[in-house]
A and B are shown apart, each in its own frame.
Chain A
Amino acid sequence: AQSVTQPDIHITVSEGASLELRCNYSYGATPYLFWYVQSPGQGLQLLLKYFSGDTLVQGIKGFEAEFKRSQSSFNLRKPSVHWSDAAEYFCAKKDSSYKLIFGSGTRLLVRP
């Protein structure tokens, strides 16, 4: 079965520091990849998505992600974290029948 792995359950960074959240996915011929953010008590909001073309994808709120086929990875990055970025982040992939498969999430804590 196809899967998405987010190896970090929690990450803590200082405000203003850079951020990288890791995501690895199981093999898929044409991966459709997504990053969602969930603020406490809220639903999920799409940050960015990749389905073809440029492997560096820009999203909302200053986030970007890089698709690396050779590493089966789609890591999320932000050059300077703000306190409002504290949330849970989910990587997701469409499977062969176009259903979303989610990773288990990474909770981001931001130190003032």
Chain B
Amino acid sequence: NAGVTQTPKFQVLKTGQSMTLQCAQDMNHNSMYWYRQDPGMGLRLIYYSASEGTTDKGEVPNGYNVSRLNKREFSLRLESAAPSQTSVYFCASSEVRGGADEQFFGPGTRLTVL
């Protein structure tokens, strides 16, 4: 049981390049999330998917797109990377989109945009 996995672990991009961050979970969770973590700002929600087939914007969606490919996989795409998108990106999943459910986090992707 691997939990939440993310690829790649590290990535360096040049401004304007595109890339997709991959996330998969093997816990049969309904909800999945993408966050970015910046120093002194905690984690901020980029997009989430309450269930397969649905996606919604979070707090900081600009410059990103997502795809909920199936129940297991939720990808985050940067179409034209900018230095402001240099960050650590975390994927998370939870069983239900409710109050007391716990979110399980992946190990993160450290992205640098030059």
Query: Which listed segment binds B: A44-52, A61-69, A79-87?
Result: A44-52
Contacts of B105 in A (CB 8 A): 36, 43-45
The yes or no answer to B53 lying at the interface (CB within 8 A) is no
* Contact of A30 with B by CB under 8 A: yes
Please determine whether B106 and A43 come into contact, CB atoms closer than 8 angstroms.
Answer: yes
Determine chain B's interface SS by DSSP, over half rule. loop
A77 to B58, alpha carbons, bound, how many Å? Answer: 31
Interface residues of A (CB under 8 A from B): 4, 9, 30, 32, 34, 36, 41-46, 49, 51-52, 90, 94, 98-100, 102-105
Taking A43-B108, A99-B48 as given, write out 5 further A-B residue pairs in contact, using a Cβ cutoff of 8 Å, ordered by the A residue number. A9-B40, A30-B99, A34-B102, A100-B33, A100-B43
Q: List 26 A-B contacts (CB under 8 A).
A: A4-B42, A9-B40, A32-B99, A36-B105, A41-B107, A42-B108, A43-B90, A43-B105, A44-B43, A44-B92, A46-B102, A46-B103, A51-B100, A90-B42, A98-B97, A98-B98, A99-B45, A99-B48, A100-B33, A100-B103, A102-B43, A102-B44, A103-B42, A104-B40, A104-B42, A105-B40
